[in-house]
Amino acid sequence: MTTPVDERVRALLDAGAHAEAATEAVRALAPSVLRYLRRLLRSGADADDAFSYWAESVWSGLPGFRGEAALRTWSLRLAYRAALAVRDRAWRRRVRPFATGEASRLAVTLRTASAVRVERQRRTLDAAIARLTVEQQTLLSLRVDQGLSWEELADVLSTETRRVDPKTLAKRYERLKVRLAADLSGDE
């Protein structure tokens, strides 16, 4: 599906205005990409690193963008690869420090029984999602949070040498929902 952003970027590329096209693409796509990266990486610093990689990839790769997929899909593929690069770095294995103010926020939530229950459920869900592979987390995040179609998801997760079948992704998603439900019911 061609969007107004796709059309503006394509027109700028056709005119040879690569920097302007990249600026337009990054501005238009940044909010959803950053939301995806924050959800997937669960660390502001890691999401910022991956976002920088993503922006550089858009900037350098846009002149070669052929338009075989929607610009949004193409950019989410770049974001997925940026997230993989950040997660694969050796320093990534460090323990996340307790952020300033996080202890205070947690203390506030402990004041009522319902707040404690909600927090426990959120942590249980976050832990269950954290046990998933990057591809499974991407499938979940892009389908639920970003509302991508199976075709768009297949475009994001495919590589130059391996095309992912949208029907296979739909089946993986169904199995993933069953797995998460079982993990969550077993933790309570």
Three-state secondary structure string covering 76-125? HHHHHHHHHHHHHCHHHHCCCCCCCCHHHHHHHHCCCHHHHHHHHHHHHH
pLDDT at site 117: 63
pLDDT at site 118: 60
Going by C-alpha positions, the residue among 152, 162, 166 that lies closest to residue 36 is: 152
pLDDT at site 105: 45
Q: What is the mean pLDDT of each run of 10 residues along the chain (188 residues)?
A: 86 90 89 89 86 89 86 93 83 48 42 55 82 89 89 90 94 91 72
The CATH code belonging to domain 4-97+131-187 is 1.20.140
CA distances from 165 to 20, 54, 140 (A): 34, 25, 16
* Domain boundary assignment for the chain: 4-97+131-187
Cα three-residue angle 148-21-59, rounded to 5 degrees: 80
- pTM beyond 0.75: the answer is no
**100 CB contacts (<8 Å, ≥6 apart)?**
none
pLDDT at site 107: 38
